[in-house]
A and B are shown apart, each in its own frame.
Chain A
Amino acid sequence: MQPTVDRSPTPHFLGRESVPDLVAMAEVADENFRLAVEASPTGIVMADETGRIVLVNAEIERLFGYQREELIGRPIDMLIPECLGDAHPGFRSAFTENPARRGMGTGRDLSGLRKDGSEFPVEVELNPITTRNGLVVLSVIVDISERKRIGAERGTGDEQFRLVVEACPSGMIIVDTAGIIKFVNAEIERLFGYPRSELIGQPVEVLMPLRFRHRHPGHRDDFAAHPGTRPQGARRDIYGLRKDGSEFPIDVGLTPVKTHDGMAVLGVVADLSERKRAQEELDRQTRELQRSNAELEQFAYVAAHDLQEPLRMVASYTELLSQRYQGKLDEKADKYIHYAVDGARRMQRLIDDLLAYSRVTSQGKPLLPTQSAAVFAEVVETMHKRIEESGAELVCGALPVVNADQMQLAQLLQNLIGNAIKFRSETPPRIHVEAREHGREWVFSVADNGIGIDMQNAERVFQMFQRLHERGRYEGNGIGLAIAKRIVERHHGRIWVESQPGKGTTFYFTLPKTKDPQPEASKQAAISPSPVPPSEAGRIAPDMKVRQ
């Protein structure tokens, strides 16, 4: 039954016919009160127990676009959009059973439905009022469109921030000082296989393998006591535990952050599985390369070594033939035996050289601080006969302490000095050995005044069995410089040559400086006792001449 409508233009309560008690109420109500209700900037609507509108004020008319006579006596659900309206009668009866002043739909977005079908956001407060005729509900309705708009504008920054955090390819997690997870981003969900609803409120330890969990609270306390950014990569071998129980290597960077709930820690989590796999693959390849190198090395050594046995027989028996039958057969036999003996000897030298070359790496000793001056002195001592015979003059500059395999450094110097003597010109050899500091290394040089080499061949001289001169003119197989190169490379240095045919040749090689500053001469003597007198230890006096 439609209530009759009082079309009075003045502000007043309406619907008195259907709710006679309200008539009485209205009658006793003060005019000021009515004016106040009518002028209220918030919408006021009153409904009876059955949900029918019994009273509205001007603001309700304005908000919803209805004339009040279109509303009185109608169900209040007409002011609510359908999607909410369906559920509304249920909410209403629940409210009637347990009436109390409350905000409506707290935490929910409520909307009002205008006459023209449009919706607008509202905030509603419900006040139950018991009358003689039963319960009525006074609803106060505020249009919050404006507030929402402002809020949305203000929220744009937050929204952008949220999008960034969500899209970030690193996992982000915020943990409070009690170790409880407060926030995770999408990447954390993906990495660990949990929806965030299962993580928020959980102790952060759920994301760690069991074996690390017991230690973590201690780490957390340490961090709380000394907060500071712990960059990624600061620790190694951290693993995450997925929901399915599998583990994966992670890297975690920690940053203390201040939240409105107090201090917390932002953890940035990166999945290292891929990186670790790549690293392992690289390690595997490196090992494989080392193994194959070592195998090749071993092969060369064994081949050379095992060749020696049959060769020893060939050489020994041809020599025995030569001893027993030289001059007892004809001239040709003597010549053939000579060829066989000579061939076997040369092959023997080649094998010896190969073995020597191979031993540079296979039998090298650890690199220790070594006085190169003392090593030089030893070399001169060893070579004194050759030096003497050739009439060579050796001049030695200051030589430093270097990290070296003493035997190999000696062999290196001997090979270079030997080379200088061997390839001398008509004039007596003059050989100058010195070392200069250059950045983080020492550059040694062995300079001679010999026949020199064409710089076109500068690289070839370091190759095995490469001879620049015809056989017979100079002894040797061309292994000396190859061994020199190998020794230098084993010492993490470089070797090269500069030369001018007819003028002379200078071989340069570098050795890295020792980590410690160059010790005093006395200390050097203590490190590596040498035959050089203490006064000359370490650095041989500049331009010490070794004239034989």
Chain B
Amino acid sequence: MKAISVLLVEDNPADADLTRETLEAGKLHIDLSVAIDGEQALQMLRSDRAMPDLILLDLNLPRKGGRQILMEIRADARLRHIPVVILTSSDAEKDVAQSYASGANCYITKPVDLWGFQRIVAAVEDFWFGVVKLPASGSVSPEPVAPAEGAERAHC
């Protein structure tokens, strides 16, 4: 079985490690890449490497904010099909609304305690890699899709 690949965009290494630890403890084998800022994330996505199946995106990032990255992903015909889960410590209504408006598939406020966080990560794994049907890697149509039509994404 092909490994599921996830790109985590997170500038805090402690946070990134925590996510990695938590994902590794789960039942699925997940190949996790970490980008420490937006520039690096977009660079990785636009390289020849295989596309991730899911992007976990922090909002508060240096150089290029999470929302900006999200908008660039959604504006890029090659990337716009990738589901993006916002994973942030912010619970501000403004951030939630703006994230969905910019094309986020899902918005999660990181729980402050470890058990809560573990529960959330397990739920994300279960939903995106158990419940939801994702497009197969490499099957992406190069045809440009109007942004409005591109809105047919799964939301958790």
Contact = CB atoms under 8 A, between A and B. Distances in A.
Interface string B112-125: 11110100000000
A308 B89 contact: yes
A348 interface: yes
Interface string B94-115: 0000000000000000101111
Contact of A348 (B12, B18, B112, B117): B112
Given A317-B18, A320-B21, A309 B113 contact: no
A320 B114 contact: yes
Interface string B15-46: 10010010000000000000000000000000
A216 B117 CA distance: 73
B114 A323 contact: yes
Contacts of A312: 89, 110, 112
B18 A308 contact: no
B14 interface: yes
B111 to A, nearest CB: 9
A313 B112 contact: no
Interface string A293-316: 000000000000000110111011
A321 to B, nearest CB: 10
Interface residues of A, number: 13
A319 B114 contact: yes
Given A308-B112, A311-B112, A348-B112, A316 B89 contact: no
B114 A313 contact: no
A494 interface: no
Contacts of A309: 12, 89
A348 B89 contact: no
B95 to A, nearest CB: 12
B113 A317 contact: no
A345 interface: yes
A311 B89 CA distance: 12
Dominant secondary structure at the B interface: helix
Nearest to A345: B113
B113 A348 contact: yes
A315 B114 CA distance: 7
Contacts of B18: 313, 316-317, 320
B115 A313 contact: no
Contacts of A313: 12, 14-15, 18
A449 B67 CA distance: 54
Contacts of A308: 89, 112
A316 B111 CA distance: 10
Nearest to B113: A315
Contacts of B12: 309, 313
Interface in A329-345: 345
Q: Give the one of A316, A320, A323, A345 with max B CB within 10 A.
A: A316
Given A313-B14, A313-B15, A313-B18, A319 B113 contact: yes
Contacts of A317: 14, 18
Contacts of A316: 18, 113-114, 117
A309 B89 CA distance: 7
A320 B25 CA distance: 11
Contacts of A320: 18, 21, 114
Contacts of B117: 316
Q: Give the one of A308, A311, A320 with max B CB within 10 A.
A: A320
Nearest to A322: B114
B129 to A, nearest CB: 23
Contacts of B114: 315-316, 319-320, 323
A24 B117 CA distance: 142
Interface in B60-88: none
Contacts of B112: 308, 311-312, 315, 348
Contacts of B113: 315-316, 319, 345, 348
Nearest to B110: A312
Nearest to B112: A312
Nearest to B92: A305
B144 to A, nearest CB: 39
B17 to A, nearest CB: 9
A348 B111 CA distance: 11
A55 B89 CA distance: 121
A456 to B, nearest CB: 37
A304 to B, nearest CB: 12
Contacts of A323: 114
A365 B114 CA distance: 32
A312 B12 CA distance: 12
A339 to B, nearest CB: 16
A313 B19 CA distance: 11
A308 B117 CA distance: 14
A214 B117 CA distance: 72
Contacts of B115: 319
Nearest to B114: A319
Contacts of A348: 112-113
A312 B58 CA distance: 15
A345 B111 CA distance: 13
B142 to A, nearest CB: 40
A351 to B, nearest CB: 9
Nearest to B91: A305
Nearest to B21: A320
Contacts of B14: 313, 317
A308 B60 CA distance: 14
Given A312-B89, A312-B112, A319-B114, 15 more contacts: A308-B89, A308-B112, A309-B89, A311-B112, A312-B110, A313-B14, A313-B18, A315-B112, A315-B113, A315-B114, A316-B18, A317-B14, A317-B18, A323-B114, A348-B113
19 contacts: A308-B89, A312-B89, A312-B110, A312-B112, A313-B14, A313-B18, A316-B18, A316-B113, A316-B117, A317-B14, A317-B18, A319-B113, A319-B114, A320-B21, A320-B114, A323-B114, A345-B113, A348-B112, A348-B113
- Per CB-CB distance, the 3 closest pairs between chain A and chain B, nearest first, are A319-B114, A316-B114, A313-B14
